[in-house]
Structure 1
Amino acid sequence: MIQTLPLALPAMLVDLHRIDLTALYSKGWGVQACDVAAAPNGDVYALYRVYRYFYGVADGEHAPATANFGYRIITRYSADGEVLASALCCSERPGETASAVVDGGDMTLCVLPNGTLAISSLADNTTLVTPDLSRVIATYDSKDHRPFKEFTPGDGFATAISVTPSGRLLCTVAEYGVWKYGSPITNLVGVADGALTATSKPVIEALASLDPEPARHSDVDVRAHVAHQGAPVGPANRPRPALTELVAGEDRLSGWHDSRLGRPVPLADDLFVVPVYARTFRSGSRGQPFVFALVNDHGEMTGRLHGMHESRDSPFTGFCFNLAADPHRRHAFHLNRYGLYAWNKAGMLRAKLDTETKTFKPLTHFTLTACSPAGDLLLVHNKQHLILRIPAPDDLTGLPAAVEEALRAYARQRTALKKQWAPVNWHWTQTSAPVHRL
């Protein structure tokens, strides 16, 4: 079923801070989508950020209309598209009660096999929240590791999590000293076969790495729950060859130094798509190498997703680095400024929806976030703050027709939502659903 869902701002938050919804984002405020995830029962969760920062305003300023603030908002939607609840967390407002959700960069969502919502962030911070968003049930905090400061290791889990059809957890893990930087950077891909609960966390078996020899990684950075060949991952025990070593000959400029690991997605229970992107330049990065590697659960790179040109199909334009996958039908998807791409399990490109055509040009305004367990593509409109749910066909040759119909339905459903919600500058305000503070 095609659906259009609003990224709603709680009315109490708009009133509390007297947010001027008519103001341009250049005035110092904004709403940014972070991630969307779907549960097997059809529920959808969206994570997004609202913030305001006025230059020259003191941190202690408390006037509602001028004080700086920032929140992460999580909203839950029913399978029918109704807003069921929202939650506020990770407040950036001075003096605000500390959030129970562990904050960090690149925050992502995952619905675990038991229905619990996992919120993960860099570096290896994972928070478990009840499905109704009413309370935090566990936190795994890796603690802040910075150069020239004493570091006491925490109890982290993963930087990002995805679930395979049988319930395995596909994880990324950060390490300290990657590419000689003095901060944790996502560097490992692994699989956990046990359950992540409030009382225990499973061992993540590392399958692949980015930097084969993190320069500043030491014994203090070794974590018991991240293993390789039966022992914790450390300087001398890690997956080799690294992905960057396997593809080093493809980059004349950097040898993949300063490359970065994207969020992997499961193409099957035992096969994963692991994206690797070469370094990003300030002057522009279109044409830089990237690889969507196929890695099995033995850590072997068995192939890649084929058919994209480094320049003509570059994900670096607009920094469109997300992948999504439907492991039940074994399809992988990627959306960037040049098109929507779809592959089969063998890595062969089966469809490209070219955004230079009139029909699919609207896709340039969307970001692909995930596939639902039912195989629906979940996209977010970057300016209109709407989620578009597109049922993908079993046969990828039918994808163009499915997306074309979804874009037409989006226009109709958006019009209906405007009559129902009366948004201001594409900002949607909800008053009926409960709002929790986590």
Structure 2
Amino acid sequence: MNLLPITAPASLLDAHRLDPEAGGWGFRVDHAVATTAGDTYVLTGLRRYRGHAAGSADPAEQNFGYQLITRHGADGKPTATAVFGQAAPGGGPTAVPERDGTTLAVLPDGAVAVSSPPGSTHLLSAELDEVLASWPMSWGWDNRQAPGEDPFAASIAVTPAGRLLCMTSEYGLSNWAGAHANTVAVSEPGSALGPGPKPLLRAIATLDARTGRQSDADSYAHVRYGDGPVGRDNRPSPSLTEALSELTGTSGSLHGYLDSTMTRPAALGEDLFVVPVFGKTYRSSNRGQEFSFALVDDRGMLRGRLGGLHLREDSPFTGFDFTVVADPHRARAFHLNRYGLYAWSADGVLRARMSTAEKPFKPLVHFALLECTPAGELLLAHRKQHLLLRVPVPQDLDDLGPAVETALKGYGRERTVLKKQYEPVNWLWSDRAATVNHL
């Protein structure tokens, strides 16, 4: 089957006596990654909030917030689930905090890296039963890092040769409080992330160069440029903000790249990466605001952008769909937003566009694009029905439209089969077969 149920452990639902028919709870899908062997790890969040329940001693009434990672075997069945974010009823404190923006990466040795803004990384065993190492970074609005912080990365992607493509954060940028994602860095060939010393990361790009408030205390020894840590003026130049402003002719424009943000970089190849950069978000409508899916090589050169997008007609600001995924084994990139699904070759040429205004592709507005697998499949999560759809991508991107149409047509049929097996209530799919590990 090309459809997987995105499940929650029945034992956790039982412990909190969660009634899917009642209100006050929510379930979201954050990310998913797959291994070359066909296993799939799905990261989700499960919460319940009742304003009157803060002091209740009854687990059935208490508010809670967990994150879950569920491993599915090659046959699609859940085999193990890691639960973290808070202590489970009757359990000890959690080793991994819950964080918005968390993403996963499967490392070459099979371990699972869990990274979240502004720079925390936790390393889990492939079986999801052990925390192998942790490098925490607090989420606060102070202008300086907290004592004892030992961060690694806000996100990690893995190149075909096993190098780590990372996004890291900095304090003391412009007039912002707290730490912001600002650096794109890669590990050296042959280095590994595991218990013990962290591998060095070589900075290849920074988003914002306004670092006048930084001090030596705002740098990290493992994120380096040249002979020293990234900090103050020791960083790749020009910044992405400056380079994209020059490329697009928007320097000094109110709707340019000043105060822009970036999301998780994706590996388009061993030495070519996609860095999504988005102009400042305003409280009013942002449709038409500047954005670029920048192409950056491993020497830090801006090689252009993924092309063919219209600032308004293809705007990712509608729905805030800012994810770009890539297939480094076949050198292609993909993006899905409320207006369409897009595919590019490594030279940045738009090869396919499936508009959600067209009948066969209208269902795409209900899906979020999570990742591309080593086998070349797109992983799409239904926003409400909590199902993971695999879309095999043809070798020729010109054939992607028919492949997506076929997958969408088969969705309802495969969903019916799964509903008979799992009997979900309000699209909450519970599972009792997988091993549950509270981390």
Counterpart contact for 1:52–1:68, Cα < 8 Å: yes
Counterpart contact for 2:88–2:438, Cα < 8 Å: no
Counterpart contact for 2:256–2:290, Cα < 8 Å: no
Give CA-to-partner distance per residue, 1:296-315, whole Å, 9 cap, x none: 00000011100010000000
Give CA-to-partner distance per residue, 1:34-56, whole Å, 9 cap, x none: 11111111110011100011123
Q: What is residue 122 of structure 2 aligned with on the other side? A: 127
Partners of 1:30 and 1:179 in 2: how far apart? 36
Give CA-to-partner distance per residue, 1:157-215, whole Å, 9 cap, x none: 10000001111110000111334211111110010121101123211101111111234
| 1:3 corresponds to 2:31 | no
For residues 127 and 74 of structure 1, do their structure 2 counterparts lie closer, same or farther at Cα, with a shift above 3 Å needed?
Answer: same
For 1:195, give the aligned amino acid: A
Aligned match for 2:193, one of 192, 196, 199:
196
Counterpart contact for 1:182–1:216, Cα < 8 Å: no
| 1:231 corresponds to 2:236 | no
For 1:49, give the aligned amino acid: G
Aligned match for 1:70, one of 65, 69, 72:
65
| 1:245 corresponds to 2:242 | yes
| 1:13 corresponds to 2:32 | no
Partners of 2:145 and 2:26 in 1: how far apart? 36
Q: What is residue 436 of structure 2 aligned with on the other side? A: 435
CA drift of 1:65 comes to 2.6
CA drift of 1:372 comes to 0.6
Counterpart contact for 2:43–2:103, Cα < 8 Å: yes
CA drift of 1:120 comes to 0.4
Counterpart contact for 2:140–2:178, Cα < 8 Å: yes
CA drift of 1:150 comes to 7.8
For 2:37, give the aligned amino acid: N
For residues 149 and 123 of structure 1, do their structure 2 counterparts lie closer, same or farther at Cα, with a shift above 3 Å needed?
Answer: closer
Q: What is residue 384 of structure 1 aligned with on the other side? A: 385
CA drift of 1:328 comes to 1.1
Q: What is residue 277 of structure 1 aligned with on the other side? A: 278
Give CA-to-partner distance per residue, 1:389-431, whole Å, 9 cap, x none: 1111111001011111111222111110001111101110101
| 1:152 corresponds to 2:147 | yes
Structure 1 window deviating more from structure 2 (11-20 vs 288-297): it is: 11-20
For 1:230, give the aligned amino acid: D
CA drift of 1:254 comes to 4.3
For 1:37, give the aligned amino acid: V
SS at match of 1:415: helix
Structure 1 window deviating more from structure 2 (266-275 vs 8-17): it is: 8-17
Counterpart contact for 2:263–2:323, Cα < 8 Å: yes
Unaligned runs of 5+ in 2: none
Q: What is residue 218 of structure 2 aligned with on the other side? A: 221
CA drift of 1:142 comes to 2.8
Counterpart contact for 2:203–2:224, Cα < 8 Å: yes
| 1:212 corresponds to 2:209 | yes
Counterpart contact for 1:105–1:123, Cα < 8 Å: no
TM-score by length of 1: 0.95
CA drift of 1:330 comes to 0.5
For residues 75 and 174 of structure 1, do their structure 2 counterparts lie closer, same or farther at Cα, with a shift above 3 Å needed?
Answer: same
Corresponding pairs, count: 433
Q: What is residue 177 of structure 2 aligned with on the other side? A: 182
CA drift of 1:16 comes to 1.1
For residues 381 and 150 of structure 1, do their structure 2 counterparts lie closer, same or farther at Cα, with a shift above 3 Å needed?
Answer: closer
Counterpart contact for 2:86–2:98, Cα < 8 Å: no
For residues 143 and 95 of structure 1, do their structure 2 counterparts lie closer, same or farther at Cα, with a shift above 3 Å needed?
Answer: farther
CA drift of 1:258 comes to 2.3
For residues 150 and 421 of structure 1, do their structure 2 counterparts lie closer, same or farther at Cα, with a shift above 3 Å needed?
Answer: closer
Q: What is residue 131 of structure 2 aligned with on the other side? A: 136
Counterpart contact for 1:332–1:343, Cα < 8 Å: yes
For residues 93 and 431 of structure 1, do their structure 2 counterparts lie closer, same or farther at Cα, with a shift above 3 Å needed?
Answer: closer
Partners of 1:148 and 1:46 in 2: how far apart? 34
Unaligned runs of 5+ in 1: none
Q: What is residue 338 of structure 1 aligned with on the other side? A: 339
Partners of 1:93 and 1:279 in 2: how far apart? 39
| 1:299 corresponds to 2:300 | yes
Counterpart contact for 2:59–2:89, Cα < 8 Å: no
SS at match of 2:102: strand
Amino-acid identity (%): 48
For 2:390, give the aligned amino acid: R
SS at match of 1:413: helix
Give CA-to-partner distance per residue, 1:267-291, whole Å, 9 cap, x none: 1100001110011112221111100
TM-score by length of 2: 0.95
